[in-house]
Structure 1
């Protein structure tokens, strides 16, 4: 996985101690003592406490109100090796603060305001001959401030400058840090790093993530092992091609940039992990054919790469420029615009174990011609435009290590027969959202024939199968015979007929997805090992009683037609469940005892609890607001009272009108005459 934060182990330990509550240790004033460590965090201190033991080696003063570290502050503690003052609004280190701190190795000054008096603070840092770990992150520091603070601090090996205001680095920025091994510069405003690391031959880990770098050219840091340049605006990565040295680079993270071309890697390197996800990268081998595009150029020109280099012209696909990728184990190309693999590209990675190609533009996948590595463990080509897979038995037999295969969200309608049964160690297959069915009868096992369905029987290594949204209509009773599936996802196949196909999995199944399948009656009592069940979007009016005998931990009943849950059933489920989804059901507010049962059980999490709604006789409420419900004590519907009262009111109204007219007969006669006894026109 890409590493976006390079924090020294000592800093991680310090943070752990800040967050961990320690009890059973002696207190000296506001501080807590653990052997030779004094924990004085979050005590509203305005200065360094004076009453601590003189042999204190570690002093934690994070989250206090210290604005100035005075000259005399640390004189009582000459044995200090670790000092942490993070989050203090600290503005200044007086020049003689560390005059007697010759053993101080680690200094954490993160999240302060050292930009206010950085000149005097720099004088204090010069008095630390043993300092190896320095954290100056989030101090509002600019380029010249950092250069001043780090001047002549030659012993530093681990430096954190993340979260500052650095814009441009040059050869003077770190020129005195000859022992520097790890440097964190993420989350600054950098757009240029011209020769900034030429004076740091021991630098091994460099984090440049979340900046504004437009390119990385003339890369010649031969001793660097990890480079994280993710989340920038990099369009080109070009390494120095004229060096005979072997680059020690093992991990290169260029994800979330604007790369157009595959990076121009060193011709000799040890690169194992290459992360290129979420760029605009594609291959241009097809442009070399001038017959296809007679007016196109097959070269690209680079100008002003360096003051000592002339202009460079390179072929769009030149193996010497793209460097050595023979040691790659992980290649992440997710979220790019790759339409195909150049000829021989996959073959150049003989020990590749993980290839992530989701969300690209691949149309074909040819196992035979690509010659995938026998070390391949994980292959993800989901969310592409695949409509054809080519394979033969010999090629697939060589993929004995392939365990995870994701083909979801493509345009597949036919696949080679026996594709998955030929993979001897396959454990997880995702075919979701393709138009591939489950074979009703046994099919050929030869991969040179195509089929619109898959025969899943007797693939003994398979444990997880996802066929969500595949327009499945019928799953035969023997579909999963000989399998030991633990996870089966069948959701979003509305109306699918299963014909007892799940019975053979009752002993092994742990997760079952049946959301939006229109399922109504299914006996779950035999699924003794089932832990997670998705029954969402099925118009269920009641929870299957058979679930009471299953030791479920997660149950999704969202978007059904549940008006209530019987109290007895609620008690049984609440005693077993850990997570339950119930939003999107038309619950009756007047029958909400089940909710109070779940709510009172502290071991159950009601997901989106505040969004679960119910209706009473007047309106819709959030079910947690039980004091607002309008319900009758006897649980009778108000409709019956309305139907009873309406005739009574009508009767009284009619009697009132008759009585009124009886006492005013002339008014009735006058009204009758006015309306009906009108004079004629002749």
Structure 2
């Protein structure tokens, strides 16, 4: 019966394994191509030409990373159902006219990373016989502006065109002429410094335009009403101005980050903008420096009509309609202030990033910011005051509030209780301390009240220079994530109100030297960081926790007592232990860790032997032998010294017996000698 079961099992494996291989990895053709369902992957096979022994019904063919220099005439004639073809990275010089004969339904073609610039006229002639082509990738082919119109001639069916990483320097009005169905155009990583007027206006269906990583100096008359997504990041733009018109723009997302903008962009009057990215520029408002009376006259000549427009040079007025904005990023700029009512006009704003600016004051009252704002980042500014007038419980809808790395000593007393949806607060690197009950009662001193914020789950207080001891500063909170690193902690009584709910606790460089720490009350803790604390003994209370992550780096631990810690080892997944002076002769616990737990810094773990530090990972065998000899303990030393002591004792006894009579006579003679007076 057992033999029958064995042969049945072998038969089952024989029948299922080939099916599993064919379904998951695909079949292999004679020349090594992987065949899936109507897809042939012939990449990385050093092919010199298109293989002709593939199934005729394939719809997708990948020929990437081969050595095909020319796509010859009728290369795909037998693959009449082909809809997608990729010939990337082949150093291909050109495509012969007629190469695409027989595949009238080809929709996707990628010629990326080749050299079709050498004979681009021939490739252009071949592309004209792809009447159904919708997506074309000509990136990384060293194409210039003169080549682009030739290659794209009569390709009216195109909907998606990629020309990234070429050497296009300027765009002429006729560059994309005839591409009436084009919806997406990417020109990233070129050298474009000038765009001729009308270049994109004929592309009436164009929705997405990507001009990132070019050399554009300015956008002085933006008039593309059809565009929905425009990426101008990583250029040299100093200003962005749209047309003074009442035409409706379909713009939804605008990215002008990482440029040289000096002023807030002048957006269209009517648009659908929900995302505006302006980070990493040089923007600020200037009326506090130059006043508001300076103006300049601009002479505008258009269609033989001359007009003069007077513009206030340093005015803080924003004429753009920002009421539709949902996400606004103005981080990494030079804003020292914002005009009165600037953010109150952003009535739909949910996400606002103002970090890394020069702000010293900011208002978070309902009159200052939108009542719909969910996330506000004011980190890395110069804030000394946060203004909040007329606030009441529930009036602010913030969920995420970042005030880290400022100069805040205090905050409005009821600021956080007015945020009934707040779940994350970051107050790290501010010179503040938390209010105790006595301070709240007596109204003494400058402090921050973080008590009774019932929705709060994640709190960051790293590097605030606080002394935390007996005061119950987290009363009424249910925290799950708390960072108290780089403060001074003398005990855990102040955490009693939230200890049982904490899941992640960070205590880097904040425990007093060799303090006795009891972690047993943190029953929900899964992440603990106690690195940089000069601990000499492993906290015994950790053995009863179900930790998943533990960081013990930069302490003074000699060994880890992990022999009878089944619960800790059963749950622990990652532990960091480097920069500790472990004893090379006490590494038995290391084998326990290595066998079942991830130690990302294992290569950096060292141990100490005779004033030397050695890598634990490749500890010399001689050290292990020395440790084995040393670890025999007291009985070994006793066993070694006992024969020596017995030998010395016997020698002394023999010596005494040998000279016994002579010594006695000498002593008696000296004792009987008379003494002179």
What's the TM-score, normalizing by structure 1? Answer: 0.83
CA distance in 2, matches of 1:455, 1:371: 22
Larger Cα Rg: Structure 1 or Structure 2? 2
Confirm or deny that 1:434 pairs with 2:430. yes
How many residue pairs get matched? 611
5 Å-filtered alignment, 1:129-144, equals 129-144=131-146
The change in CA–CA distance for 1:41 and 1:77 in structure 2 (over 3 A counts) is same
Aligned mates of 2:134, 2:441 — CA distance in 1:
63
SS at match of 2:500: coil
Query: How far apart are residue 21 of structure 1 and its match?
Result: 11
Match of 1:339, SS state, is: coil
Aligned to 1:485: 479
Deviations 1:104-154 (CA, angstroms, capped at 9, x unpaired): 011112222222221211111111111001111122222222222112211
State the secondary structure of the residue aligned to 2:628. Answer: coil
Q: Does 1:232 align with 2:235?
A: yes
- Give distance in 1, aligned partners of 2:207 and 2:188: 16
- 2:404 counterpart residue number: 408
Question: Is 1:582 paired with 2:586?
Answer: no
**Aligned residue number for residue 333 of structure 1:** 330
Structure 2 CA distance for partners of 1:572 and 1:35, relative to 1, 3 Å: same
Map 1:596-615 to 2 at 5 A.
Answer: 596-601=591-596, 604-615=597-608
Residues 616, 629 of structure 1: 8 Å contact kept: no
Do residues 299 (structure 1) and 295 (structure 2) align?
A: yes
**1:420-499 superposed matches below 5 A:** 420-441=416-437, 452-493=446-487, 495-499=488-492
Asked whether 1:219 is paired with 2:222, we answer yes
Residue of structure 2 equivalent to 1:661: none
Deviations 1:304-351 (A, max 9, x none): 898977675422366886411111111111111111111121121011
Distance in structure 2 (CA, Å) of the matches to 1:94 and 1:502:
75
The 5 Å alignment of 1:7-406 reads 23=24, 25-29=26-30, 30-195=32-197, 196-241=199-244, 243-287=245-289, 289=291, 298-299=294-295, 313-316=310-313, 322-368=319-365, 370-394=367-391, 397-399=394-396, 401-406=397-402
| Corresponding residue for residue 413 of structure 2 | 417
- After superposition, give the CA deviation of every residue in 1:149-173 in whole Å (9 maximum; x if it has no partner): 1122111111111122221112121
Shift of 1:386: 0.9
1:610-639: CA deviation from partner (whole Å, max 9, x where unpaired):
2333333364333322237745143639xx
Instruction: Name the structure 2 match of 1:517.
Output: 510
C-alpha displacement of 1:397: 4.0
Deviation at 1:569? 6.2
3-state SS of paired residue (2:149): helix
Render the CA deviation track for 1:224-276: whole Å, top value 9, x for unaligned.
Answer: 111111111111111111x2211111111111111111111111111111111
Comparing 298-307 with 572-581, which one deviates more in the overlay? 298-307
Q: Which residue of 1 aligns with 2:496?
A: 503
Structure 2 residue runs without a partner (length 5+): 1-20, 635-639, 641-677
CA distance in 2, matches of 1:128, 1:356: 47
Aligned pairs for 1:610-625 (under 5 A) are 610-617=603-610, 619-625=612-618
Q: Distance in 2 between matches of 1:209 and 1:300?
A: 31
Residue-by-residue CA offset, 1:180-206 (whole Å, 9 max, x unaligned): 111111112222222331221211111
**SS of structure 1 residue aligned to 2:468:** coil
State the 1:528 CA deviation: 2.6
Is the alpha carbon distance of 1:597 and 1:193 closer, same or farther for their aligned partners in structure 2, counting shifts above 3 Å? farther
CA pair 569-301 structure 1, distance change in 2 beyond 3 A: farther
Separation in 2, partners of 1:492, 1:542: 20
Per the normalisation by structure 2, the TM-score is 0.84
Check 1:312–1:536 CA distance in 2 against 1; reply closer, same or farther (3 A cut): farther
Of residues 60-69 and 322-331 in structure 1, the stretch that sits farther from structure 2 once superposed is: 60-69
Q: Post-superposition shift, 1:591?
A: 3.2
Runs of 5+ unmatched residues, structure 1 = 1-19, 291-296, 645-682
**Aligned-pair distance for 1:38?**
1.9
Contact 1:416 1:451 in 2 (8 A): no
Q: Is residue 28–residue 52 contact of structure 1 (8 Å, CA) maintained in 2?
A: yes
Instruction: Say if 1:110 and 1:136, in contact at 8 Å, map to a contact too.
Output: yes
What is the alpha-carbon distance in structure 2 between the residues aligned to residue 590 and residue 305 of structure 1? 86
2:543 maps to 548
Q: Relative to structure 2, which stretch is displaced further, 59-68 or 256-265?
A: 59-68
| Cα 1:304/1:21, change in 2 over 3 Å | farther
Distance in 2, matches of 1:377 and 1:425, equals 9
- Structure 1 residues 402-431: Cα deviation after superposition (integer angstroms, max 9, x where no partner): 111111111111211111112111111111
Q: Distance in 2 between matches of 1:579 and 1:91?
A: 52
CA shift for structure 1 position 537: 0.9
Residue 499 of structure 1: how far off its partner (Å): 4.5
